[in-house]
Amino acid sequence: METTQDLFGKCPYFTIQKILSGKWAFMILYHLQEKTLRFNQLQKLLPEVTQATLTKQLRALEDYGIVKRTIYPQIPPKVEYELSDMGKEFSDSLESLRIWGEKYIDFHNKNQENIKIEM
């Protein structure tokens, strides 16, 4: 019997879910598809994210090979984040999800009384 860990790298849906499981993964990828950003720039774009959470999420995306981190040897240290080649491959999917999200927002706004969402 396969466990969920056994599914990573075999099942595309499980693999995607695992890589993008962080609460802020989609927003980080959205901002990085526009341009290379430093940590503080990302933090300003995502003001609700704590420094620790953003660090953890960026490290996870980097470990999965989706985000590339470049450290420049200078004082003070300069670190930039950008999408890796594999991360750039996700841009079309991200656009498709944006379109679906807009359709869902319209659906939700028309059916608010029938939709129960727990956060």
Q: Any idea what the CATH number is for the domain that residue 68 is in? A: 1.10.10.10
pLDDT of residue 30: 94
DSSP 93: H
Q: Quick one: pLDDT at residue 14? A: 87
Q: Is 22 exposed, middle or buried (0-12, 13-18, 19+ CB in 10 A)?
A: middle
pLDDT for residue 2? 62
Q: Is there a domain that residue 7 lies in? A: no
Please indicate, yes or no, if residue 17 is contained in any of the structural domains: no
Assess if residue 10 is contained within a domain. Answer: no
Task: Judge whether 2 lies within some domain.
Answer: no
Give the residue ranges of DSSP H helices in the chain: 4-7, 12-19, 25-34, 39-45, 51-63, 85-89, 91-110
Cβ atoms of 74 and 80 closer than 8 Å: no
Query: Looking at residue 22, what is its pLDDT?
Result: 87
Domain that holds residue 70: 24-110
Pick out the chain residues at pLDDT < 50. Answer: none
Number of domains in the chain: 1
For residue 87, is it within any domain? yes
The sign of the torsion formed by the CA atoms of 83, 87, 92, 96 equals: negative
The answer to whether residue 11 is domain-embedded is no
